[in-house]
Structure 1
Amino acid sequence: MTPRARSLAVVPALLLALVFAIAGTGPARAGELVVFERKGCVYCQRFERDVAPLYGKTDEGRRAPLRRVDVSQGPPRDVALAAPVRFTPTFVLVEDGHEVGRITGYASDEAFWGLIGALTARLAPARP
């Protein structure tokens, strides 16, 4: 392939990237569930055992994938929290970098699924 042909092959990808940038539908995730954890947290371990293996396979997990954060490291720079996180686990639903809502603590898988279902209903509809 000649150098000119190689440079022309890049044009469609650049045009597609430009369309995404203009439309605002780039690679940023619409929602995510930021899980603040602490080493040795028994309730974090229960969540890990009861819910985490299934979460990504659910509608909630597809709409708001898990992102794990050690609470001792502080909040991620790209997340604007409504209030500080003091207890673990704390599950913060984030959309476009801003907190939508949170679940503080973990009592059981049944309680978690009910609460996360109500929270993810607050997210903007998924883009086609």
Structure 2
Amino acid sequence: MTLIGAIICAVTLHAGPAPAQSGWELVMVEQRGCVYCIRWHADVGPEYPITPEGRFAPLRVVDLRALPDDLTLTRRPIFTPTFILTRDGQEIGRMEGYPGEDFFWGLLGRLLAQGDADWATQPVGG
């Protein structure tokens, strides 16, 4: 096992059981061939579910051209990736584009803090 694999395994075991479903989701809108979507999946995707952010707002990936009917959005996404924070299917806020891993975590933290005052007291991952 590599060092990185061991760290991910240890973090996963330390994280404990998943919290009860809170109604929060991070919806990633993507489309086939999106270079920035592919980059996000390589940079962030593997670690997202085991971070505090990922446990608070689990990821749901949807296609730009086949948006699910159970989402109520303020406007239709145009750019991919677009990350939409939802609670019980209602859009709370969004980030358009992927500026790289370092910026992603900070922007996501701000989005989560705007959506839920309790999030502001959570540790930052990434």
Both proteins in one fold, TM over 0.5: yes
Give, in angstroms, the shift of residue 125 of structure 1.
4.0
- Residue equivalent to 1:105: 97
Whether the 8 Å CA contact 1:31–1:123 is kept in 2: the answer is no
* From 62, 65, 68, the counterpart of 2:61: 68
Amino acid at match of 1:88: T
Amino acid at match of 1:89: P
- Residue equivalent to 1:45: 38
- Residue equivalent to 1:12: none
| Aligned-pair Cα RMSD in Å | 1.6
Distance in 2 between the 1:65 and 1:78 partners?
Answer: 16
TM superposition score normalised by structure 1: 0.72
1:79 aligns with 2:71: yes
Higher radius of gyration, 1 or 2: 1
Unaligned runs of 5+ in 2: 1-19, 120-126
Unaligned runs of 5+ in 1: 1-26
TM superposition score normalised by structure 2: 0.73
**Secondary structure, aligned partner of 2:47:** helix
Distance in 1 between the 2:99 and 2:111 partners?
Answer: 17
Find runs of 4+ consecutive structure 1 residues off by over 6 angstroms.
Answer: none
Distance in 2 between the 1:70 and 1:32 partners?
Answer: 16
Amino acid at match of 1:84: R
Report the count of equivalent residues. Answer: 99
